Amino acid sequence: MAGHAGSQDSKTRPGQRRMAQWTRDYARLPGIPDEYIGQDGAPRPAWARFFDAFAALSPADIERRFASADRHLREAGVTYRAPGETADRLWPLSHLPLIIDETDWRQLTTGIAQRAQLLEMILRDLYGEGRLVADGSVPAAAIAGSNEYLRAVCGVKPPGGRYLHLYAADVGRGPDGRWWVLSDRTQAPSGAGYALENRLVLSRAFSNLYKSMNVERVAPFFEAFRDALRASADRDEPRIGLLTPGAFNETYFEHATIARYLGFLLVEGDDLAVSGDRIHIRTVAGLKRLDVLLRRVDSNFLDPLELDASSHLGVPGLIDVLRKSGVVVANMPGSGVLEARALLGFLPNLCRRLLSEDLLMPHIATWWCGQKSAREEVLSRLDDFAIEGAYGRAVPGFPGSGPVLAGELSPPERERLRSAISDRGIDFVGQELVRLSTTPTWENGRITPRPFVLRVFAAATPNGWTILPGGFCRIADQPDARAVSMGDGARAADVWVVSDKPIAASTLLPAADTVRIRRIAGVVPSRAADNLFWLGRYLERAEATLRLIRALGTPTRDSGKGAPSGASTALHSVERIQRLLVTWGATSQASRANSAKVAAEALQSAEKFGSALSLLRSAQRTATSLRERLSPDAWQVITEMVERLSVEADDDDGIVSAAELSLQELASFAGLAQENMNRAAGWRFLEMGRRAERAINTARFARQFAYDEAGDEDLDVLLTLVDCQITYRSRYLVGPALAPVRDLAVLDPYNPRSVAFQVAALNEHIASLPSLKEHGLIERPQRLAVALQAMLTTAEAAALDVKALFALEQDLLNLADAIGLHYFPHGPNASRPEKLTGLA
């Protein structure tokens, strides 16, 4: 296959030389088709065009662009979680796209659209009239064996008029050069959001190359999907929620991406409630009707009342709402039954019967052993098949979740497999072993063929099925591509559907496939508000801790003078700072004597729950559940702070400078929130959390350092902690005096760090929030805030003794609790639904 790239210029132009070199080294796997090099040994035209342009970039430029793509992924926090792991993994992106020629793609899309329509028709019959089973077109056992066959929705007409709204198929190119279906995804297909991210990253990193390739854009597909979901609802401006299992799900990042991109509310089961014949979302303004639920929760977990009783991910009563046609659920619960491999072999006949057409796309030849003839076929040449579970991923009775290859089993295990198939053939299918095509990947400066699986997405629209031009491609690092899941060394790749003509001008506009961020729906779910409130509190508490650490490490004006000028029994200021850090759980008693040790622990200890690192980690955890509401920049700031503090500082200077850098970043987060955060997205709750926490901390600082006998040094520390050294000095020519310092820290309404300023801000926020009760009486949070503000407005600094400051602190804590109880009904004190127990 060498030499085909040779033209008269190949010896002179470095790009073509590089390309010739790559091509010569590109060793196709024997007997396996390849995407780049065709059956005839020549590169396919679309790929040749890509590599022509790609090779024109210098090696250094290529590496720089790859690095920029990786950086973008890291900064945007694109992550996934492998099943069974607790930590997020960074998204491994293959740097070369999978390139598919437009003509080839059209064939694939026709096949996918036909298949989607066929599956929709089968679902209608299975959960409706049941003619296909009655006349033997589909064996009853092939359906009954799937735990996605939901008896609870038999006979329920799907609200919105259809079962499948989003369908996906895993495909690969077979030895005959055609695209083959490996499996169907009808439950809640994942990957479309990652496809979107991959496109964003690669089209930015190679913007000119991307533009020159005439790549079809993916944005119109998502818009069509969103519009179709809107149209499925029974009112004009429907509210659409994306139901996620929560931040611990392996594809949570994707749920947040899709929700943010399409303007859906990201909701968990706890956010929803059945009321009347409808589903409602709990918001800070009370229950709001939800019209459409795009679910990423499997059917069986959707309703603990009628389905899996142990589920905490669903909504009790959801199935009953479906019976009353009160909500559109996409896809309709029970749609997953068609993912069973047992059905594959029956599809060609079903297609002729239901659509009067031949099935366009072949799938891997599959024998369901529930039928005698198929079972005998499989048993007669057991080694020629991959044995798979007929319904789920696992093969019943055998470990792991992949296929079982009889040829690789020990003789007794092989015999066990054989008798299992003889006894309960209904549980097994035999699938033909096929090798799928490979695609180029970039490894160490050269291109290497690797097998891949492509997930193609189809959305149901009023005008038929729309296919995402591109998809989610997973590239394996092992020869059998069917085993590709993101868990094991696999990488993802962007998929470019390219045309040799420029694509229509209207869709060509942006160089990169930019994401148009939509306005988030104007309701704030209580859980999101709760998380925002706590995010604000964690960040503010971290800031206070960092300020204490900095004060500990920075000599004050009067340090070295020994004991404070007040009573001799009073503690030294440094000891007071240490004592505060101890009561906050930032450090332990043992290291109280050594300031440097205290500072290091309070800054970086992973064990102390009150350390700056722990607080920022709590903030990060909380922010994880708010991904769809925070800008990528804001997320990045939090991640960077956590990363910095996770690396141990070298010395005392390192500690102080790490604290200072973190304080700067906290300020930049506050700026981002102030300037970039949509006011409708719950910004007020982030602000309220921050204000409440700052008020509490400042009151506590005032009590600790502006106590009745406080000396200069103490007052100086307080001025530093509340950032008022300059203000104080510009107002008062004398050194720090008790009453003026107290006034500045607690009562001054113009000082953005005073308690009074925070309380005024809280009042303003509370007044702007919707009232939940209709009785016209003032609600508790407002009552407390207004009273506090009146008190702070009229108080005199001289009268603010330790006792008064302590009372103020308690009032502020009560106010924070009252806000929580009032707006976040599932706060820690609220009761959750519980299952009735007992054998009755």
Partner 1 sequence: MIYDIRHVTTYSYESPVSFARCSLRLEPRSGDGQQLVSHSVEIRPKPAERTIRRDFFGTHTESVLIETAHRSLRIDSRSRVQVARQALARTAPSPSWESVRDVAFEASSLGPASPVGYVFASSLVPVLGPVTAYAAASFPQGQGILVSAIDLMHRIRHEFKYDPKATVISTPLREVFEKRHGVCQDFAHVMIAGLRGLGLPAAYVSGYLRTYPPAGQPRLQGADATHAWVSVWCGSEIGWIGFDPTNDLLVENDHIILAVGRDFSDVSPVDGIIVGSRKQKLAVAVDVVPVE
- Catalog residues that contact partner 1 under the rule CB under 8 A: 126, 130, 133-136, 139-141, 143-145, 147, 149, 151-152, 154, 274, 304-306, 308-309, 316-317, 320, 323, 370-372, 396-397, 423-426, 831-840
State how beta strands 98-101 and 89-90 pair: unpaired
Of 139 and 241, the one with the shorter C-beta distance to partner 1 is 139
Burial of 51 (0-12, 13-18, 19+ CB in 10 A): buried
Measured CA distances, 593 to 575, 579, 600, 779, 798 (Å): 8, 11, 13, 47, 34
The Cα–Cα gap between 482 and 211 comes to 32
Taking the complex as a whole, how short is the minimal distance between the CB of residue 837 and partner 1, in angstroms?
7
> Shortest CA distance to 533 belongs to which of 139, 799, 827, 173?
827
- CA atoms lying within 13 Å on the CB side of residue 415: 2
> Shortest CA distance to 75 belongs to which of 67, 85, 83?
67
Placement of tokens 């964003």 in the chain:
200
Of 90 and 134, the one with the shorter C-beta distance to partner 1 is 134
Taking the complex as a whole, how short is the minimal distance between the CB of residue 190 and partner 1, in angstroms?
24
Measured CA distances, 792 to 54, 708, 732, 748 (Å): 67, 19, 22, 9
State how beta strands 328-330 and 292-295 pair: parallel
Burial of 510 (0-12, 13-18, 19+ CB in 10 A): middle
Name the region of 723 (left: φ>0; alpha: ψ -120 to 50; beta: rest).
Answer: left
Of 14 and 155, the one with the shorter C-beta distance to partner 1 is 155
Q: Which two tokens stand for residue 359?
A: 């099935």
Burial of 157 (0-12, 13-18, 19+ CB in 10 A): middle
Taking the complex as a whole, how short is the minimal distance between the CB of residue 526 and partner 1, in angstroms?
15
* Close Cβ partners of 628 (under 8 Å, ≥ 6 residues apart): 256, 257, 259, 260, 266, 520
Tell me how crowded residue 156 is: count the other CB atoms within 10 A of its CB: 19
Taking the complex as a whole, how short is the minimal distance between the CB of residue 398 and partner 1, in angstroms?
11
Tell me how crowded residue 434 is: count the other CB atoms within 10 A of its CB: 18
Of 555 and 838, the one with the shorter C-beta distance to partner 1 is 838
Do 684 and 530 form a contact (C-beta atoms < 8 A)? no
Tell me how crowded residue 367 is: count the other CB atoms within 10 A of its CB: 23
Helices (H), 207-359: 207-212, 219-232, 252-262, 318-323, 347-355
Taking the complex as a whole, how short is the minimal distance between the CB of residue 247 and partner 1, in angstroms?
24
Taking the complex as a whole, how short is the minimal distance between the CB of residue 226 and partner 1, in angstroms?
32
State how beta strands 438-443 and 385-389 pair: unpaired
Tell me how crowded residue 379 is: count the other CB atoms within 10 A of its CB: 18
CA angle 345, 346, 348 (to 5 degrees): 95
Quote the DSSP letter at residue 37: B
Taking the complex as a whole, how short is the minimal distance between the CB of residue 152 and partner 1, in angstroms?
7
Beta bridge partners of 90: 79
Long-range contacts, 754-759 (Cβ 8 Å, 24+)? 754/698, 754/722, 755/695, 755/698, 755/699, 755/702, 755/792, 755/808, 755/812, 756/789, 756/792, 756/793, 758/691, 758/692, 758/694, 758/695, 758/698, 759/691, 759/695, 759/785, 759/788, 759/789, 759/792, 759/812
Tell me how crowded residue 324 is: count the other CB atoms within 10 A of its CB: 13
Q: How far apart are the first and last CA of the chain?
A: 75
Tell me how crowded residue 541 is: count the other CB atoms within 10 A of its CB: 24
Helices (H), 239-317: 252-262
